[in-house]
Amino acid sequence: MLTLYHDWDAFCCIKVRFCLAEKGAAWESRIVNLQEMEQLTPDYLALNPNGVVPTLVHDERVIVESTIINEYLDEVLPGPALLPRDPAARADARVWVKFEDDVLHPSVKGPTYQLMLRQSFARLPRALVEERIAHAPTPQKAEFLRKALTDGPPDLDAVAAARTIFTRSIDRMERRLQDHDWFGGADFSLADIAIAPFVDRLEELNFAGLWDDKPALAGWIARIKARPGYQAAIPKSHQRIPAPLAAPVS
């Protein structure tokens, strides 16, 4: 039995659902609503003390962190292998998964909170918000949430800083894909699964124009979107976070 605790429009949850779909696995859904800060409820924190989604429960074994979850799923489930057999190629794929963990995912968090989630938080009772923030697992996470809840317009300086990271990252991705069909090399892998949510989130944030002059990346995006696993992983329109509050920074 596989049970996934997830939010439909959370970056790392898309990543794990994509992996599950590629492995052809059946799983049970448990929704953790980020728009209501349910990841910071005592019951969920007892399951995942990091206060993030997703969390996988496999036959009562709890697995956290999306990258680790995906490698675990690749190892324990039947279906196509999602990491290359060759050690050098496998290392290449893991470098790109780490790039997603270290650069791509952190870069979209600020714009997601500033332009999208803060309007959801604004609808919550203030007492509930304070209660949830009080349960944040680290002072840094609590401070990040408080900044996202600040009254007034979105912090467009933070969005502009993120845009610089997006641009540099897309340049690096384009260079890689000029010589390879997939980020891990010749074959589709966990690297492509990891990076796919970055493209989806930039589209939701109205930054898709950043790859207008990147034909290799555009070709990869077309190949990713053609995969049934990607279509199964992506949320439906009614499962999305509300649209951005402001236009992207030019």
Q: Tell me: the pLDDT tens digits for 62-103?
A: 999 999 999 999 999 999 999 999 999 999 999 999 999 999
How many angstroms separate the CA atoms of 100 and 145, rounded?
Answer: 22
Question: Confidence class of residue 246 from pLDDT cuts 50, 70 and 90?
Answer: low
**Residue 56, C-beta contacts closer than 8 angstroms, at least 6 positions apart:** 2, 3, 4, 5, 16, 62, 63, 64, 69, 72, 73
Per CATH, is 2-76 categorized as 3.40.1180.10? no
How many angstroms separate the CA atoms of 66 and 132, rounded?
Answer: 23
Per CATH, is 87-227 categorized as 1.20.1050.10? yes
How many angstroms separate the CA atoms of 206 and 204, rounded?
Answer: 5
Q: Is the pLDDT of residue 144 over 90?
A: no
Top pLDDT among 112 and 120 is at: 112
85-94, 135-144, 229-238: which has the minimum mean pLDDT?
135-144
Give me the DSSP letters along 160-202: HHHHHHHHHHHHHHHHHHTT-SBTTBSS--HHHHHHHHHHHHH
Residues of the chain with CATH 1.20.1050.10: 87-227
Residues of the chain with CATH 3.40.30.10: 2-76
Give the pLDDT mean for 55-63. 97
In this predicted structure, what is the pLDDT of residue 147?
77
